[in-house]
Amino acid sequence: MKVRTSIAVSFVIAAAIPFAAAVAREPSADQRADATVAEMTPAEKTILTHGIMPLPIGENPPPVPEDAIPGAGYVHGIPRLGVPALKETDASLGVSYVSGARGDYATALPSGLAMASTWNPELLREGGAAIGQEARAKGFNVMLAGGVNLMRDPRNGRTFEYLSEDPLLSGVLVGHAIDGIQSNHIISTIKHLALNGQETGRKFVDVQISDANARESDLLAFQIGIEIGNPGSVMCAYNRVLGHQACSSDYLFNQVLKRDWGYKGFVMSDWGAVPGLEAALNGLDQQSGAQLDPDVFFDADTLGAAAASDPRYAARLDDMNKRILWAIYDNQVDKYPVRPGGEINFDAHADIAEEVAKQGIVLLRNRNGALPLAKEARSILVVGGYADTGVLSGAGSSQVHPRGGPAANITLGGEGPFAAFISEQYHRSSPLKAIAAMAPEANVKFRNGFYTSEAVEQARKADVVIVFATKWASEGFDQPDLTLPRGQDALIDAVASANPNTIVVLETGNPILMPWLDKTAAVVEAWYPGMRGGEAIASVLFGETNPSGRLPITFPASESDLPRPKVDGFDTLEANFGGDAPNPDAELKVDYNIEGSDLGYRWNAREGKKALFPFGFGLSYTSFASSDLKSNGKTASFILANNGNRAGATVGQVYLVSRNGQTQQRLVGFKRVELAPGEERKVSVNIDQRLLAEWNGSGWTIPAGIYDFALGEDAENLGRTVSVRLSEHSWKD
Ligand code: BGC
């Protein structure tokens, strides 16, 4: 035994020597970045620090370099030092179409909310890898992806782009998506740091929040996402935080991101979000799309001049370059140069988009097994939602055009340089066609729902009615309330009153209220389901796909249950998408200490409120049981079983319920599992200790006491609690 061990040890040592030598020959990204900075002339040091929008946008659009590709951004490279230009595109849902400036098309994944409803990190990684490959094939080496702002208000217009209201779920999912994107040797951002919780007054809304509340919520989502995804860049936010523009926040960049989290990459600004040169001292590393800012601050004339006379700027300038270079080298962007015209397997990527849609669709109600529909159904009436044409998508910088462009496009942006970004677009994937294909024997009719009387009359004659309801959302605009617009609530009410066998399919970018819920047979939340959404919806309706989506956001029972009655400033301010610079005179404070770190389900638990549909909720065509929870506070294990007669997937959810008898609800672990009928499986999850802890001012503390954990069907339907005694302990980030 002894001899064997020593042979094994000497073998390991012998094998390790050439390996160590090889590692020593290959310098790290850090070492390479240091070496390049040391080679740079003063003039070269202000090349990577600012970029342009390579589009005719802004008052004085700069000349567009020959190698630029129409997209969100371009940063010159330094050919002498082998540093590539950075070519930037939006982003999280696919390579965005920038008002058609490139004249190409790309795969449109479902919305962020749909992705998050899958609770499937691996699938998000696959989606990220696919859109990253497309970005690369189109000649981009930076994706402005990784939107992870937590949903503090369901009326936020960008809710559809983000993932969830929970720091663990959002952080894990975004980390995997970023990892997928960067697997293509390109850089991904994570964005928008931080607390970008509403669009109203988005360039000056001033978030008031305590350090502890921020670290335990929005910042924790970023922290987890960065740990898992290792993004080369962080994009800062438009809003202010504690009186400072987020893109010039010493607190967010120097203290939290770089000092406490040890982040090595660079912070790029959002477009038109830089207030001035001092942002460099506050930790901003790169000024993006600089023609949208009041001035180009990070160029030779301003930043370069400051560095020549002020050692603080000189030190920062080296650090800014080092960080940008680190991101380039860490992802080997220089070793795998991008070239436009690469091959894209659009069919394979569309399959991924469809899979995300299928796994992300959430079955909210299914009275007496109304779904799945029998393929032998005789007469089906489909009403509304442009279901004969396509499926809705969200607008703004994340908008993607699949092949052929939108099937319908309602422009809503008025005039101005960004008008084309603001339009209600339907992808070419008609649910009506997909439904008809699933039920070839049925008489499938369509009414657009413009006239309630007509829809009601037809509904009376049909076996089944499927009403499609849409609620459009866009970057730049919040929503006044959680109703369905354009009279759709009244339409659903009337149709469901006429035919109790009414199924409602929702294509929304946010939670909604459902005053008509009790009259319906079934409700399906399909979100913005991406370029194959119609097929995915039909597949769920007819049971080819057993729904497994779970809500990543609370559907409140009423707007009065939300922490604030209206989005702050909504009634007084004009919506603002696009070009305006931060306005130092404008004032709008929002108090995020109201809910603090208790967003969504945590707010409801704290306030004793019940949701219309809680976080984590979602029905299936089979039934599951979860049991046998065991935990020591660091891990949890439990058993999931499919006790129905169809294969399906469920999501095991472990919640902290209370600490020392005080309500303290937090999702601490989750796992999506596919189970055959009758199958059961033991599942274990690690518990991120930060979720049990409190921020103590310089680190985390788990207070001593009894911690009660439970398995949840969702955040409100919790099983028997398991108590764990934990002793006090603290640690640094
Ligand atoms: C958005 C960012 C986006 C950028 C570039 C901004 O309006 O807030 O998310 O990446 O534009 O298009």
- From 270, 293, 474, 477, mutation site for ligand 1 pocket: most ligand atoms within 8 A of C-beta: 270
Between the CA atoms of 120, 126, 131 and 132, what dihedral angle is there, to the nearest 10 degrees?
120
Can you list the alpha helix ranges (DSSP code H) found in 202-246?
211-215, 218-229
Residue 636's Cα: distance from chain center in Å?
27
Q: Is 98 left (phi over 0), alpha (psi -120 to 50) or beta?
A: left
Pairwise CA distance, residues 142 & 131, whole Å? 12
Average per-residue pLDDT for the chain:
94
Has residue 365 got a pLDDT over 50? yes
Q: What pLDDT was estimated at residue 339?
A: 94
Taking residues 507-517, report their average pLDDT. 98
Pairwise CA distance, residues 50 & 290, whole Å? 7
Has residue 15 got a pLDDT over 50? no
For the chain, the distance separating the N- and C-terminal CA atoms, rounded to the nearest angstrom, is 42
CA of residue 182 to ligand 1 center, whole Å: 19
CA of residue 225 to ligand 1 center, whole Å: 19
For the ranges 24-38, 96-110, 165-179, 371-385, the one whose mean pLDDT is highest: 165-179
CA of residue 433 to ligand 1 center, whole Å: 35
Tens of pLDDT, residue by residue over 227-239, are 999 999 999 999 9
Has residue 17 got a pLDDT over 50? no
- From 271, 422, 474, mutation site for ligand 1 pocket: most ligand atoms within 8 A of C-beta: 271
CA of residue 270 to ligand 1 center, whole Å: 6
Has residue 338 got a pLDDT over 80? yes
Has residue 8 got a pLDDT over 60? no
Q: DSSP character for 254?
A: I
CA of residue 397 to ligand 1 center, whole Å: 6
C-alpha distance from residue 577 to each of 97, 160, 200, 204, 530 (Å): 17, 16, 9, 13, 23
**Which is the closest atom of ligand 1 to the Cα of 289?**
5
Q: Report helix angle 121-137 to 346-360, nearest 10.
A: 150
Query: Can you give the three-state secondary structure of 365-430, one letter per residue?
Result: EEHHHCCCCCCCCCEEEEECCCCCCCEECCECCCCCCCCCCCCEEEECCCCCCCHHHCEEEEECCC
CA of residue 320 to ligand 1 center, whole Å: 21
> What percent of the chain stands above pLDDT 90?
89
Nearest residue (by CA) to ligand 1, atom 8, is 270
Could you give the strand order of the β-sheet that contains 391-392, starting from the edge strand earlier in sequence?
Answer: 391-392, 423-427, 408-411
Q: Which of 479, 444, 469 is nearest to 524 (CA)?
A: 469
Q: What pLDDT was estimated at residue 100?
A: 87
CA of residue 60 to ligand 1 center, whole Å: 19
Fold of 619-732: Immunoglobulin-like (2.60.40)
Has residue 582 got a pLDDT over 80? no
Q: DSSP character for 710?
A: E
CA of residue 25 to ligand 1 center, whole Å: 40
Q: Quick one: pLDDT band at residue 24, thresholds 50, 70, 90?
A: low
- From 55, 75, 90, mutation site for ligand 1 pocket: most ligand atoms within 8 A of C-beta: 90
Has residue 9 got a pLDDT over 70? no
**Which is the closest atom of ligand 1 to the Cα of 577?**
7
Nearest residue (by CA) to ligand 1, atom 11, is 271
> What percent of the chain stands above pLDDT 70?
95
**Which is the closest atom of ligand 1 to the Cα of 238?**
8
Judged by average pLDDT, the poorest of 78-92, 247-261, 419-433, 631-645 is 419-433
Nearest residue (by CA) to ligand 1, atom 3, is 397
Residue 351's Cα: distance from chain center in Å?
20
Q: What pLDDT was estimated at residue 2?
A: 35
Q: What pLDDT was estimated at residue 58?
A: 78
Q: Quick one: pLDDT band at residue 573, thresholds 50, 70, 90?
A: confident
Nearest residue (by CA) to ligand 1, atom 6, is 271
527 within 8 A of 114, measured Cβ to Cβ:
yes
CA of residue 241 to ligand 1 center, whole Å: 18
Q: What pLDDT was estimated at residue 416?
A: 73
Q: What pLDDT was estimated at residue 587?
A: 85
Give rounded-to-5 percent helix, strand, coil for the chain: 30, 20, 45
Taking residues 236-263, report their average pLDDT. 98
CA of residue 668 to ligand 1 center, whole Å: 31
119 within 8 A of 552, measured Cβ to Cβ:
yes
CA of residue 133 to ligand 1 center, whole Å: 20
CA of residue 243 to ligand 1 center, whole Å: 22
Q: What pLDDT was estimated at residue 197?
A: 95
**Which is the closest atom of ligand 1 to the Cα of 288?**
5
CA of residue 232 to ligand 1 center, whole Å: 17
CA of residue 688 to ligand 1 center, whole Å: 31
640 within 8 A of 683, measured Cβ to Cβ:
yes
Has residue 65 got a pLDDT over 80? yes
**Domain residue ranges in the chain:** 40-330, 361-545, 619-732
Pairwise CA distance, residues 204 & 687, whole Å? 37
Tens of pLDDT, residue by residue over 369-386, are 999 998 777 999 999 999
**Which is the closest atom of ligand 1 to the Cα of 192?**
9
**Which is the closest atom of ligand 1 to the Cα of 98?**
12
Has residue 646 got a pLDDT over 90? yes
Taking residues 503-509, report their average pLDDT. 98
Has residue 489 got a pLDDT over 70? yes
**Which is the closest atom of ligand 1 to the Cα of 191?**
9
CATH 3.40.50.2300 fits 40-330, yes or no: no
Nearest residue (by CA) to ligand 1, atom 5, is 72
Q: Using a 6 Å CB cutoff, which residues line ligand 1?
A: 72, 90-91, 144, 191, 270-271, 397
Q: What pLDDT was estimated at residue 586?
A: 78
Pairwise CA distance, residues 235 & 243, whole Å? 19
CATH class of 361-545: alpha beta
- From 144, 162, 196, 247, mutation site for ligand 1 pocket: most ligand atoms within 8 A of C-beta: 144
Has residue 7 got a pLDDT over 50? no
Tens of pLDDT, residue by residue over 320-329, are 999 999 999 9
Nearest residue (by CA) to ligand 1, atom 2, is 270
**Which is the closest atom of ligand 1 to the Cα of 96?**
12
CA of residue 159 to ligand 1 center, whole Å: 14
Tens of pLDDT, residue by residue over 145-193, are 999 999 999 999 999 999 999 999 999 999 999 999 999 999 999 999 9
Pairwise CA distance, residues 177 & 179, whole Å? 5
Q: What pLDDT was estimated at residue 580?
A: 52
Q: Quick one: pLDDT band at residue 603, thresholds 50, 70, 90?
A: very high
**Which is the closest atom of ligand 1 to the Cα of 144?**
10
Which has more pLDDT, 3 or 578? 578
Q: Which of 614, 624, 639, 441 is nearest to 546 (CA)?
A: 624
- From 397, 398, 576, mutation site for ligand 1 pocket: most ligand atoms within 8 A of C-beta: 397
Pairwise CA distance, residues 639 & 682, whole Å? 4
Q: What pLDDT was estimated at residue 60?
A: 82
Q: Quick one: pLDDT band at residue 640, thresholds 50, 70, 90?
A: very high
277 within 8 A of 295, measured Cβ to Cβ:
no
Tens of pLDDT, residue by residue over 402-436, are 999 999 999 887 777 777 788 999 999 999 999 99
Q: What pLDDT was estimated at residue 583?
A: 65
Tens of pLDDT, residue by residue over 461-473, are 999 999 999 999 9
Taking residues 91-102, report their average pLDDT. 92
CA of residue 409 to ligand 1 center, whole Å: 21
Q: What pLDDT was estimated at residue 695?
A: 98
